[in-house]
Amino acid sequence: MAAAAWLKLSVALTCALLLSSSACHGLQVGYYKKTCPRVEAIVRDEVKRFVYKNAGIGAGLIRMFFHDCFVQGCDASVLLDPTPANPQPEKLSPPNFPSLRGFEVIDAAKDAVEKACPGVVSCADIVAFAGRDAAYFLSRMTMKINMPAGRLDGRVSNSTEALDNLPPPFFNLDQLIDSFAAKGLTAEDMVVLSGAHTIGVSHCSSFVSDRLAVPSDINTGFANVLRRQCPASPSPANDPTVNQDVVTPNALDNQYYKNVLAHKVLFTSDAALLATPATTQMVRDSANIPGQWEAKFNKAMVKMGAIEVKTGHQGEIRRKCRVVNH
């Protein structure tokens, strides 16, 4: 315990002396240039194939990157399947199951990458590249993120940790800010990354009870549309999905912030961005200043990708993304 605390402290001090947090973790743009030069093209081709068939998979991949990074750091722990020794991994926890999607894209990308350069590329980096590439395609090839790599894959995946670290949709602003601060991200990073709710879907169960069943600030017309799409009490057997952004559902754009201002967003956590003047101003700027949100989202995705990255003996390069190496 004391030894672990000292190790953490000394790592933190060493990092503080280096220039940037990605340098501290050893993350680099073009990390595989020598060892697997085609990796980023291979992953991009696989993501393209799946996203052009179903844009929703792209939303799933961006969310997967977030859910990976917030639990045990960006280490592909979200990909691990249950085993007899570990029957409750992250992917079975309520924030991930049954809603998290895109696992088949990571499998396909890993297979293709292993053929080109066996044993070299981590699953954690593939998740980061895939999230980056989904943002590229869903933004009509305008969001070009230079995603550093060099993450190792973890060996721990625990559903309780997913529940403890992933913010639920009923969080208020203070709780959201705290949960991002616990990962080294600022309130502005939180506001900026929430813009990912400009794509994809939500299950009715994620918002009916606190947004439709009780008085809330949600737009009346929008609430009525949702009431027609959702049962009054969703259950696992009856839990439809609705688009998050009714205006441009498959475009990674700043429409989310216009929806927040119009009170046409699904979650308490989305509406909470208007709880203080400071965050309201961020929402307004993202909605009104062309290109500002896109530039901030680009940077925030890279920052999120550096959370608690594993190096050396903390991790491995998994052969199959769903199981730890023997």
Ligand X SMILES: *[C@@H]1O[C@H](CO)[C@@H](O)[C@H](O)[C@H]1NC(C)=O
Task: Write out the binding residues.
Answer: 68, 71, 73, 75, 77, 90, 167, 197-198, 245, 248, 253
Applying CB under 6 A, the residues found at the interface with ligand HEM are: 56, 59-60, 62-63, 66, 99, 101, 167-169, 171, 176, 190, 193-194, 196-197, 199-203, 206, 267, 269
Q: Which residue type occupies 220?
A: T
Least separation, in Å, of the C-beta of 40 and ligand HEM? 20
* 158 near ligand X (CB under 6 A): yes
How far is residue 32's CA from residue 304's CA, in Å, rounded to a whole number? 20
Residue among 32 and 131 whose Cβ is closer to ligand HEM: 131
Interaction partner, residue 222 (ligand X, ligand HEM, none; CB < 5-8 Å by kind): none
User: Residues of 12-37 as b/e, b for ≥16 C-beta within 10 angstroms?
Assistant: eeeeeeeeebbebbbbeeebbeeebe
How far is residue 57's CA from residue 137's CA, in Å, rounded to a whole number? 11
* 83 near ligand X (CB under 6 A): no
230: phi then psi, degrees, rounded to nearest 5: -120, 140
Strands 241-243 and 201-203: antiparallel
The yes-or-no answer on residue 313 being catalytic is no
CB atoms within 10 A of CB 48: 15
Of residues 81, 107, 114, 161, which one binds ligand X by CB under 6 A? 161
92: phi then psi, degrees, rounded to nearest 5: -95, 0
Of residues 14, 160, 172, 325, which one binds ligand X by CB under 6 A? 160
Least separation, in Å, of the C-beta of 129 and ligand X? 29
- In the chain, the N- to C-terminal Cα span, in Å, equals 27
Residue among 92 and 317 whose Cβ is closer to ligand HEM: 92
Residue among 148 and 318 whose Cβ is closer to ligand HEM: 148
User: Looking at the annotation, which residues are catalytic?
Assistant: 67
Question: Which parts of this chain interact with ligand X (CB under 6 A)?
Answer: 158, 160-161
